[in-house]
Chains A and B, each alone.
Chain A
Amino acid sequence: MSGRLGLDLERIITVIDRSARPDEIKTGDRVAEFVELYSRYYPRLQFFLMALLPTANDAADVLQETSLVLWEKFDTYQSGTNFYAWSCTIARLQAMKYRDRVGRSAKLLDEAVLEMLSEEALGDEIDPTASLEALAYCLDRLSERNRELIMRRYQPNASVQELAAETGRSANALSKLLGKIRRLLLECVERKVSRQNARIGD
């Protein structure tokens, strides 16, 4: 999905460029504010949508749409308030619309579960941006083979099915292996983060 960010921004730029009427153009400060907020919260917004739509392509599509809506509705955002909460409200609505019009993969989670997750994903306890450094550290410590596999899995437009065929495995077997690598990473990241926190707390 990381490859989609470029597309999101290009589409937003198109919207900006098309804002022909001077009275519709957002002021430069407002644009700057949007860039900063959008860039800062992009990883968390992506996490929020992935929590609702764990299949990567679904979340990527909704994130694209959400980005545009965020830009269009930015006039309703009050500076200084919680941008993440504001953008998640819009993202959640976009995710629900997407569920209604797209097939099975988008309906992976029941609506009640979705509601609970969208509440809980808003909290600050889980912030993917806070552990990027630890993730880099842990990726570095994977075996070369595991690291190459997980990197290929997360390349833009990578498909587990195609990767499975390339590596001579079934998609299920590959997914199991990827799952094990993610568990290794998850444990390593959490250990590293808690150690960092403990060090700061020393």
Chain B
Amino acid sequence: MNSSDNPIPNEPRATEVDELCSLVASACDNVLTEAQRVRLNELLRQGIELRTVYLRYIALHSSLTTTAGGQAVQGVELFRNRLAILAKETGSRLPPARIPFSSASLLSWAALVGFALLPAAIYCLGFWETQRDNPAVELVERNHPEQLANRAVPQTAQVARVQRVSANVVWLDPNESFTVQSSIRTGSKLRLVQGEIELVYETGVKLLLIGPADFVSQEWGGELRRGGLMASVPVAGQGFTIETPNGKVVDLGTQFGVVVDDFGVSEVSVFAGKVEAFPTQPTGANQRKFELLQGRALQWSNEMLKPLEADPRRLPFSLASFSQTGSDKLPGETLLQSGLRRDLVDFNQWKFLGDIVTTATGFVLEGQRGQARQPYLVSSREFNPTNGPVTVVCDIRFPQLAPHDQPSFAILTRSADERTAMERPWKNTLATCVRCNFRTAKDTFDGLLETATKYERDRELTGISWRGFRRPEAGTAYRLVMRDDGVNVSFTVSQVDNPAVSKTVTCRSLFRGYQNHIALEGWDEGVTIVDHVQVFQAAPVENLASDFYRLPVAEGSHASATSSKQANNLIDLVPSSAALAVKDHFDQEEVDPALWATLGDVVLDAGAISLGFPSKSGHIDTFHPRPYLLTRRQFTPADGKLYVLGRIEFDENFLQGYGGSFAVLTRCDDQYGVGPEWAVSALRTGVRSNFWPAAPHQNHILEIHEKATPNSLAFLAGTGLEINPESRSYFFCLEDDGQRTALTLQDATDRSIRQTVQNAKGSPALLRSGFIGFESCWGSRVLLDDIEIYVQPRSDELPEAK
């Protein structure tokens, strides 16, 4: 880091920021007085900090203006249509409609905001309860399967046959059921409440649909709107595609599972071979492609993207026991039991958050009126439901209720054992959890059953709620049963004295808990008495979809260029006395945070680092922030010569347009800069050794720059390299002794293609130390793997005195 180049700006005072925002609001709304105008200009003259606040405010004002009207969509479409005619006449091609301002992106944005759709969705769904009266719970209104199900789907050719129907299958609509050997056509709707159905496609693809599920078959695969499926795809079926409400999965010869939950989350797991996943980008950004190899999984929603290990336990295909009520038929072993008598409570098994006392009849959870602080009983140990379905049973009652009280009680699984503890409306709930809640609906006499997930500490619950049950009554004992198998959740509330008064709701949540405690959440405004707390965990479900199909996978069918481990011959450049400082083959589940930091679009992808995201387009934007992988550690090459080795693979578009590039930076900063031209997208400072195969000037294919300050850029050296356009894999070795820098590139498939660029005179050496960075440019991904960093101690270094 070069702090001298980055004087800390004067932070504007909060009062000035408030005053400025108030004045800008008046200006935007055209109600600014002359005196205010003068003051606004005074503030804007004060310094760049306040002008930046002004620009941020205007950016929001502009975004609100852009998105408020739908006429922009029509305008762009009109313009494109007219130009399409012109282009046809001139024999040219219009660009694909993937630009951020395309109609599709605006429409999806509109759907995301949901202003127009929300009332209609609620009306259509009927049984959904709007949760406006509970600010801590967000209503999920987008991409719900019921909305999608209303789309008209024409039926045409046969695409598959039903091979098998499980004995426990229950169809959502018996009139739309299928029997063994019946035809499945384009547009057939398969909606299961429970059970499984197996299809065999004309191409030989086998598909196991796991209920509850909602699936529409297509010639190319199908649309999974809710539920789970397992597909096994022979060579003839490659390209088999499963669409989910927020993306799609394309098979490349494999065995994979897809699950769509009820909260807008999709997950694909690869058990053999390779698939490509395309999570939808909600605001029109380029759709990203992720290649997943065997053992990998990807989970995504509109707000997150999470690479994971594939876990077949998340696709159990026997769900017959789903939605069981009562405790007498529950499978498995009782692991924890408390209640009834004070002397039986094992305080090692539970911890209390808030006011909880034990009495002769059970636990008393006391919420203090006006404090909005729920009491929690939290299990000391964790129960991971993926290891076996977890069932929590308890009896509760509210001894005293005033007419306007709105009591609630919840069971939590996959839960953290501490509160959110942030100044938010949901500060009182536990940090992360899956939560089943029984409460009173505001303004009505109904009771509500809610299922929700809290994904992160700093965000609210995302949930669904159902009516159809009486509100909680004073003194009435209710039995609550929550069952969670890691994906499927069921929640039953019944009256203890009249078990016929019972309601069960189910949902799927793909949230993988960071912790897996169980918790009981009391009412924050009064007393809840809890009895007969029982926790069960059954043995893992053995019928796993991944075991159902055992297809031989063609050898090498999922070998990628980066996974073929050839040796990097450039290791010969490293003297034997050099010490290995960093080595990473990126085979872990996550980027090692102890070794690496990242800037921009950098993710782990199939055992390599993906610098940027794939793009078929030739549009490569050098002004967009570049992706960087950076060492956590700083190095001073003058004190020990650096050798940085690794392997890269360019994407297919690396010679299109401006062309892709890959650079190794030494002595660099770890923040984006503000330098001239393209340097706005690059790091503030550093020595940058760059490989730019599409460079228009032959002697710039390999080049070295020094960016000693954010506003300067010195060209130190450049040379050419005759590349093979078919070859996208290279080994590299970067050497830096603090004066001279050399970058050697070698084609991984034709080792005779090799070149070195180095600065003959040495750099001005303004930069002495810094991080080591790896860079590509936006729009053309580079896969980076097998990094090794060596440090050669100076020969004149004195031995350490002891």
Binding between chains A and B: yes
A54 near B24 with CB under 8 A, answer yes
Q: Contacts A54-B58, A178-B29; is A6 near B64 (CB within 8 Å)? A: no
B680 near A123 with CB under 8 A, answer yes
Chain B 94-133 against A: per-residue CB contact (8 Å), 1 yes, 0 no? 1100011110000001001111000000000000000010
Please give the distance in Å from A44's CB to the nearest CB on chain B.
9
Residue from B30, B60, B76, B302 within 8 A of A5 (CB atoms)? B76
A55 near B27 with CB under 8 A, answer yes
B75 near A35 with CB under 8 A, answer no
Residue from A43, A57, A113, A125 within 8 A of B62 (CB atoms)? A43
B71 near A28 with CB under 8 A, answer no
Residue from A33, A36, A132, A179 within 8 A of B25 (CB atoms)? A179
Bound-complex Cα distance A151 to B70 (A) = 12
> A120-162: which residues lie under 8 A (CB-CB) from chain B?
120-121, 123-129, 131-133, 135-137, 139-141, 144, 147, 150-151, 153-156, 160-161
A200 near B66 with CB under 8 A, answer no
Q: Contacts A8-B75, A28-B86, A156-B69; is A124 near B593 (CB within 8 Å)? A: no
A10 near B30 with CB under 8 A, answer no
Chain B 65-83 against A: per-residue CB contact (8 Å), 1 yes, 0 no? 1111111101110111011
Q: Contacts A10-B78, A112-B45, A120-B55; is A28 near B29 (CB within 8 Å)? A: no
Bound-complex Cα distance A10 to B75 (A) = 7
Q: Which 4 residue pairs across A and B have the least CB separation, nearest first?
A: A28-B92, A179-B25, A6-B75, A154-B68
| B binding-site residues for A, Cβ under 8 Å | 21-22, 24-32, 37, 40-41, 44-45, 48, 51-52, 54-72, 74-76, 78-80, 82-83, 86-95, 99-102, 109, 112-115, 132, 138, 282-285, 302-304, 458, 590-591, 593, 597-603, 623-625, 657-658, 674, 677, 680-681
Q: Contacts A117-B55, A155-B68; is A35 near B21 (CB within 8 Å)? A: no
A3 near B63 with CB under 8 A, answer no
Interface size on A, residues (CB 8 A): 91
- Considering only CB atoms, which chain A residue lies closest to B139 in the complex? A140
- Considering only CB atoms, which chain A residue lies closest to B94 in the complex? A32
B71 near A3 with CB under 8 A, answer yes
The residues of A that contact B51 with a CB separation of less than 8 Å are 116-117, 120
Bound-complex Cα distance A195 to B455 (A) = 14
| A binding-site residues for B, Cβ under 8 Å | 1-3, 5-10, 12-13, 16-17, 25, 27-29, 31-33, 35-36, 39-40, 42-43, 46-47, 50-51, 54-57, 80, 82, 84, 105, 108-110, 112-113, 116-117, 120-121, 123-129, 131-133, 135-137, 139-141, 144, 147, 150-151, 153-156, 160-161, 171-172, 174-176, 178-179, 182-183, 185-186, 189-190, 195, 199-202
Please give the distance in Å from B9's CB to the nearest CB on chain A.
12
B283 near A43 with CB under 8 A, answer no
- Considering only CB atoms, which chain A residue lies closest to B41 in the complex? A110
Q: Identify which of B52, B65, B132, B282 gathers the most chain A CB atoms within 10 Å of its CB.
A: B65
Please give the distance in Å from A29's CB to the nearest CB on chain B.
5
Bound-complex Cα distance A31 to B85 (A) = 11
A105 near B63 with CB under 8 A, answer no
Please give the distance in Å from B604's CB to the nearest CB on chain A.
11
Q: Contacts A12-B79, A51-B58, A54-B58; is A174 near B29 (CB within 8 Å)? A: yes
The residues of A that contact B30 with a CB separation of less than 8 Å are 55-57, 105, 160-161
The residues of A that contact B593 with a CB separation of less than 8 Å are 202
Residue from B52, B65, B99, B600 within 8 A of A120 (CB atoms)? B52
Please give the distance in Å from A7's CB to the nearest CB on chain B.
7
Can you list 25 residue pairs at the A/B interface with Cβ under 8 Å? A2-B66, A32-B93, A39-B99, A39-B100, A40-B101, A43-B66, A54-B27, A82-B623, A109-B44, A110-B41, A113-B41, A120-B48, A120-B55, A127-B59, A128-B63, A129-B100, A132-B283, A140-B114, A153-B29, A171-B31, A174-B29, A175-B29, A186-B21, A186-B60, A199-B304
The residues of A that contact B82 with a CB separation of less than 8 Å are 13, 16-17
Bound-complex Cα distance A172 to B27 (A) = 11
- Considering only CB atoms, which chain A residue lies closest to B624 in the complex? A124
Bound-complex Cα distance A120 to B44 (A) = 12
Bound-complex Cα distance A121 to B112 (A) = 28
B92 near A54 with CB under 8 A, answer no
B598 near A144 with CB under 8 A, answer no
Bound-complex Cα distance A169 to B185 (A) = 59
Q: Contacts A5-B76, A126-B52, A182-B61; is A16 near B86 (CB within 8 Å)? A: yes
B54 near A117 with CB under 8 A, answer yes
The residues of A that contact B25 with a CB separation of less than 8 Å are 175-176, 178-179, 182
Please give the distance in Å from B623's CB to the nearest CB on chain A.
6
Please give the distance in Å from A169's CB to the nearest CB on chain B.
12
- Considering only CB atoms, which chain B residue lies closest to A135 in the complex? B63
The residues of B that contact A128 with a CB separation of less than 8 Å are 59-60, 62-63, 66
- Considering only CB atoms, which chain A residue lies closest to B625 in the complex? A124
B58 near A124 with CB under 8 A, answer no
The residues of B that contact A39 with a CB separation of less than 8 Å are 76, 99-102
The residues of A that contact B285 with a CB separation of less than 8 Å are 133
B60 near A28 with CB under 8 A, answer no
- Considering only CB atoms, which chain B residue lies closest to A7 in the complex? B75
Bound-complex Cα distance A116 to B43 (A) = 13
- Considering only CB atoms, which chain A residue lies closest to B63 in the complex? A128
Bound-complex Cα distance A126 to B75 (A) = 26
Beyond the given pairs A36-B99, A39-B101, A132-B67, 4 more chain A to chain B contacts, judged by CB atoms under 8 angstroms and listed by A's residue number, are: A32-B93, A32-B94, A108-B37, A182-B25
A201 near B597 with CB under 8 A, answer yes
Bound-complex Cα distance A1 to B27 (A) = 16
The residues of B that contact A141 with a CB separation of less than 8 Å are 138
Bound-complex Cα distance A1 to B64 (A) = 10
